[in-house]
Structures are given as C-alpha cells and as structure tokens.
C-alpha cells in the first residue's frame, strides 16, 4: 500500500527531503512561470472562444493537483494553444461562442478529457500514443499553428471574421473585410508582435508577454483608445468560482466524445514529450502512465472549478526549467500567484486590448511551425515526409479533427503496408570468409552456385505470408536454383499461419527436388517449429547455426546424391 500511494502521489518523495535550497529555486521559478502564464491563460481562453477569466480558473486547482500527482518536476500545466483550438473547433457548432451554454460545454469537455486520461493511465494504456507518429504530429502541429494564428486576425484587424477550422475560409473572409480594418487596433497589434519578437531575440529572459500586456493596457487607458474602437477585455469577474458540476446529458456526452478523445491524446502527447525531454536533461525518469493519471485528475479539477482542458505546455515548461524549478512546489507557487490575481488584481485587466492577447497567441504558436522537421525527413525518410505533408494539408484544408484523423489513418495504413511487405535480402559470401552479406550492398560477394540464400528481416506472421510466398516464387523462377537457405536470424516470431506456410513450402520444394535449409533460427522460433512438428519434418536442415554451415550442408547433400548445381 505505501508503494501504491507513493506511485500515485510522486510529490511525497520530494516533500520528504524538501529543503530551503529547493525553495530558493522553486519560488522564483514559480513566480516567473506565473508572470508568463497569466496573460497566456487569458489569451488562450479567448482563442478557445471563452471569457479570459476561464483561462485563469484553469490555471489554479489543476496546477495544484498536478504538483502532487505528476511525475515531472518541471512540467508547467495550464491552458495551451493546441487544446484551446481543439475546444473552439468542437464547440463552435454547438453554441454561441462565449455564451453560458458554450462555457458549460467547455467545462464538461474538461471533465470528459480528465476521465478518459485518468482511465487510460490506470489501465496503463500509454502505448496508444504510439499511433500518433512524429511525422503526423509534426504536420498536424504546423498546420494547427497556422489555423490558430489566422483565428486571431479578427482581433488583430478589429473586424468581425467568422470562425472556421479551415484556413482558406478565414483568409478569404479577412480579405473581404479588409476595407473595414480599424487602424488603431492594427497598429497596436502589430506593435505588440514586433515588441514580442524583438524581446525574444534581444532579451529572452524578460517576461515578454507580461510587459506587452501591461504596456498595451497603459496605452489604451492613457489615450482612451477603447472609445475609438479598440476592443478591450473590460470587466473580469473577481474572486474564485464556486466548485461544482455543469449540467449535462447523455446526448451532450455523445456529441463531445470524439473531441474529448482527440484532446486527451493530443494533450498527453504534448505533455509527455516535453516532460521526458526535461527529465532527461535533469537526470530522472517520468512515468508515462502516471502522467496520464495526473493530467486526467488535473482536467477533472479544471472541470470542477469551471475551467477548460489543460495540459503541459512547451514554452512555459521550458521557462520553468530554465528558471531553476526543482520540484512540483514551483507549480504550487504559480497557482498561488494566479489565485491572488483572481482575488485582488482583476481590475488591472479592464483596459487590456484583445489585439495584444492576439499578438501573444500568434507569436507563441508560429514557433510551432517546424521547418527543420521537413528538412530532416527529406534527408532521412521521404515516406514519413509524405505523411507529414498529407497531415499538414488535410488539417489546413479540411479542419483540425479531420486532419488528425486522416494523418493517424494514413500512418496506421503505412505501418500495415510496411509490416506486410518486409525487407528481404539475397545474400552472398564475402571472399575468403564465412560471412554472408546483401548482394545489393556488397558488390564483391559471391553467390553460391545453385543456392538461393535469402534473409527475411521481420517476424513471419499471417500478414506477410502471401508477400513472402510471392518473393520465393519470383526467385525460384530461375531453374538453376536447386537449394534454398533461409537466414532466420532476423525472424523474431513465427505464428501458426507462417508455420503452415513454411510447411507448404517444404512439401512443395521436396516435390520439385529443391532442398530447404534454415540457419540462425532464434529460440522462440525453434520452439514453435518443435511444437508444430515442422522441426521434425526439416530434420537437420533446420538446425544450422550459421548460414555458411547451411550452404555447405546443401552442397554436400547434392554431391552425395550425385547432383551438381550449375
């Protein structure tokens, strides 16, 4: 039981040995992250179509829950751009953006995401994220970053542009309204973007988002720009929300379930990737399944506290780590600062221009467009680059959920194709040695006369039986082949279908007068052959340790039978 409690609450381990030295690191890290989180949380809530205060609600209790249950010591949990866009995409068709029903749906979505993630963690289903291959995630993230940026055009231009998950529709709508652009709003937004980019390059340690938010708020207040058409946040309700559950029914749950599943996996993928990177840098390990549980409980807390889905963010986690965070106590400090802000400082946000929040979002998400990944895949794996491109274009043109669905589907299909068409190699002997190598890679190798030596670089199972049969048939069309030696050193598993296929080949080869030999078979494969009776059928021909031994045995057998391979 103590071990279970410690596994469910990793914070107990660092709390036992917590010191003043840790506090001296965690306190400024938590404060620094809070300074970054507050404007981002408000901006991302706006991106999700929610009142800015909902973003702050999602930055309180969820952080406290994760601090105690998360296995990462530096992961900064809270609202992020990707989740916010997914929320907006899922909820926009269901209710008036920003209205009470819309907010209730967002809160319900947080609860559903939390339950799904916690359940997946408890049944140790972290492996499901493996279906989100890196090319798919890269293509989806880059396209989503563009969609997120374009969604902020209406705040940057000061005109009403209808929401759409399809990038081209947003661009066309913006071009149609270009004559209605509010110049004060545009100037303020562009100045905010320039300031954010300049500070990132020149003074990267400064709290860029906070400084831009504070500066733009002062400008609007001092010059009365809100009276001239610049949209502001206006009233932000002070205080903490009363905990409770939103009203929902079975129909609502069914409607939101696809979005909840997508957000659950995407959010976990984002969090676990940055958590593992930070853990490696700081020389400790994170538990993926416990991260699933911790993020799930954080989202359940967000739902109870009128927040919306949260996860671990890339930029804030990096800042938290660079600021010196040693334990989850830094997250507790961040949550405390947000709570103090909600209780006493909300009036400071009245004149905050929405254009400044749009600038914060746009500069943050455009950094997610990974051109380096494209260059890497061009050099390493063109097939994976095709997957990235397909996911990118599908997401950009068809929308978020459709794009990720197509990307995952294409990734799984490509995996199946590769698994059912494994790599095989024809081998020849290196002169003067007993080593056998691929004839396509080693021009100096010598093929043994009359003997086909072939290596199968995959487990032999029902999915690739037909392909391998076709491969044998193609090579045995040569009448000069009188023996076949299969290098089984790369075969890790043999299922019943493959065993039956090998038995058929052995019988067919015997009828055609072709000898069948095996070399380098692994223990589990030999065990399967033994149980099925195939080992008895093959006899000594299936027990050679080295390819060279099998080739020599084939030649000796032919000599003994008075046959000469040509």
Alpha helices per DSSP H over 323-464: 329-344, 354-365, 371-380, 382-398, 400-420
283 and 210 housed in the same domain: yes
pTM: 0.74
The per-residue pLDDT for 562 is 67
97 and 231 housed in the same domain: yes
Alpha-carbon distance values, 445 to 426, 434, 439, 478, 518 (Å): 11, 11, 6, 20, 20
Domain count, the chain: 2
Can you tell me the distance from the alpha carbon of 154 to that of 445, in angstroms, rounded to the nearest whole number? 67
Residue 519 lies inside a defined structural domain of this protein: yes
Domain end position, chosen among 344, 378, 413: 413
| Other CB atoms within 10 Å distance of the CB of residue 137 | 23
393 and 495 housed in the same domain: no
Phi and psi (nearest 5°) for 318? -65, -40
Q: How are the residues of the chain apportioned to helix, strand and coil, as percentages rounded to the nearest 5?
A: 65, 5, 25
Domain end position, chosen among 359, 391, 413: 413
Can you tell me the distance from the alpha carbon of 53 to that of 107, in angstroms, rounded to the nearest whole number? 13
Element (H, E) at 186: helix 183-202
Evaluate whether 72 touches 10 at the Cβ level (below 8 Å): no
Residue-wise pLDDT tens digits, 222-232: 999 999 889 99
Q: What angle do helix axes 382-398 and 371-380 make, rounded to 10 degrees?
A: 140
Query: Taking 50 as the threshold, does the pLDDT of residue 532 lie above it?
Result: yes
Evaluate whether 142 touches 369 at the Cβ level (below 8 Å): yes
What is the mean pLDDT of the segment spanning 126-135?
71
Domain end position, chosen among 354, 384, 413: 413
Which residue segment(s) compose the domain that 454 sits in? 424-560
- DSSP structure class, residue 181: -
| Other CB atoms within 10 Å distance of the CB of residue 19 | 9
The residue ranking higher by pLDDT, 431 or 85, is 431
What is the mean pLDDT of the segment spanning 469-497?
89
Residue-wise pLDDT tens digits, 40-88: 899 899 889 999 999 999 999 999 999 999 999 999 999 998 889 889 8
Task: Give bridge partners of residue 60 from the DSSP assignment.
Answer: none
The per-residue pLDDT for 145 is 79
- DSSP structure class, residue 241: P
Can you tell me the distance from the alpha carbon of 370 to that of 446, in angstroms, rounded to the nearest whole number? 46
237 and 287 housed in the same domain: yes
381 and 501 housed in the same domain: no
The CATH number assigned to the domain holding 466 equals 3.30.750.24
The per-residue pLDDT for 476 is 87
Beta strands per DSSP E along 430-560: 436-438, 451-456, 483-487, 515-519
What is the mean pLDDT of the segment spanning 498-518?
89
Query: Taking 70 as the threshold, does the pLDDT of residue 566 lie above it?
Result: no
What is the mean pLDDT of the segment spanning 221-249?
87
Can you tell me the distance from the alpha carbon of 487 to that of 544, in angstroms, rounded to the nearest whole number? 10
């Amino acid at each position: 039981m103590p071990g279970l409690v410690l596994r469910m609450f990793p914070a107990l381990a660092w709390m036992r040995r917590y010191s003043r030295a840790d506090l001296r690191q965690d306190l400024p890290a938590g404060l620094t992250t809070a300074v970054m989180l507050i404007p981002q949380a408000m901006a991302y809530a706006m991106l999700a179509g929610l009142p800015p205060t909902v973003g702050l609600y999602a930055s309180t209790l969820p952080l406290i829950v994760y601090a105690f249950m998360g296995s990462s010591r530096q992961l900064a949990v809270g609202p992020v751009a990707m989740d916010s866009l997914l929320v907006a995409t899922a909820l926009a068709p269901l209710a008036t953006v920003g209205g009470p029903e819309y907010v209730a749906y967002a809160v319900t979505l947080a609860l559903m995401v939390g339950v799904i993630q916690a359940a997946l963690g408890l049944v140790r289903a972290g492996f499901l994220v493996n279906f989100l291959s890196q090319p798919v995630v890269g293509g989806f993230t880059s396209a989503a970053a563009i969609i997120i940026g374009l969604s902020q055009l209406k705040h940057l231009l000061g005109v009403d542009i209808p929401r759409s998950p399809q990038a081209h529709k947003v661009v066309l709508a913006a071009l149609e309204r270009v004559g209605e652009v509010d110049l004060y709003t545009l100037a303020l937004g562009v100045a905010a973007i320039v300031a954010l980019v300049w500070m990132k390059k020149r003074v990267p340690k400064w709290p860029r988002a906070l400084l831009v938010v504070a500066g733009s708020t002062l400008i609007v207040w001092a010059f009365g720009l809100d009276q001239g058409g610049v949209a502001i946040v206006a009233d932000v309700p002070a205080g903490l929300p009363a905990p409770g559950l939103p009203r929902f029914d079975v129909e609502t749950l069914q409607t939101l379930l696809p979005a909840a599943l997508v957000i659950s996996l995407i959010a976990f993928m984002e969090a676990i990737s940055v958590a593992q990177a930070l853990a490696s840098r700081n020389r400790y390990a994170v538990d993926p399944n416990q991260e699933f549980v911790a993020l799930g409980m954080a989202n359940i807390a967000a739902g109870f506290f009128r927040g919306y889905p949260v996860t671990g963010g890339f930029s804030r986690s990096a800042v938290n780590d660079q600021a010196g965070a040693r334990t989850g106590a830094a997250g507790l400090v961040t949550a405390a600062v947000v709570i103090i802000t909600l209780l006493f400082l909300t009036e400071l946000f009245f004149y905050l221009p929405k254009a400044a929040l749009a600038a914060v979002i746009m500069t943050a998400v455009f950094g997610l467009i990974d051109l380096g990944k494209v260059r890497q895949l061009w050099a390493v794996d063109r097939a994976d680059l095709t997957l990235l491109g397909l996911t990118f274009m599908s997401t950009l043109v068809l929308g978020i959920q459709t794009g990720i669905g197509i990307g995952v589907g294409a990734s799984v299909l490509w995996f199946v194709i590769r698994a059912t068409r494994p790599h095989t190699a024809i081998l020849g002997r290196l002169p003067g040695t007993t080593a056998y190598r691929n004839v396509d890679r080693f021009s100096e190798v010598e093929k043994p006369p009359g003997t086909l030596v072939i290596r199968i670089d995959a487990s032999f199972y029902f999915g690739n039986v037909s392909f391998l049969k076709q491969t044998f048939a193609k090579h045995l069309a040569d009448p000069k082949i009188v023996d076949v030696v299969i290098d089984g050193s790369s075969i890790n598993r043999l299922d019943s279908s493959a065993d039956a296929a090998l038995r058929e080949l052995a019988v067919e080869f015997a009828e055609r007068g072709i000898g069948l030999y095996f070399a380098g078979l692994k223990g589990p494969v030999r065990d399967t052959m033994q149980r099925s009776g195939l080992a008895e059928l093959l006899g000594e021909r299936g027990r050679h340790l080295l390819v060279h031994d099998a080739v020599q045995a084939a030649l000796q057998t032919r000599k003994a039978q008075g046959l000469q391979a040509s």
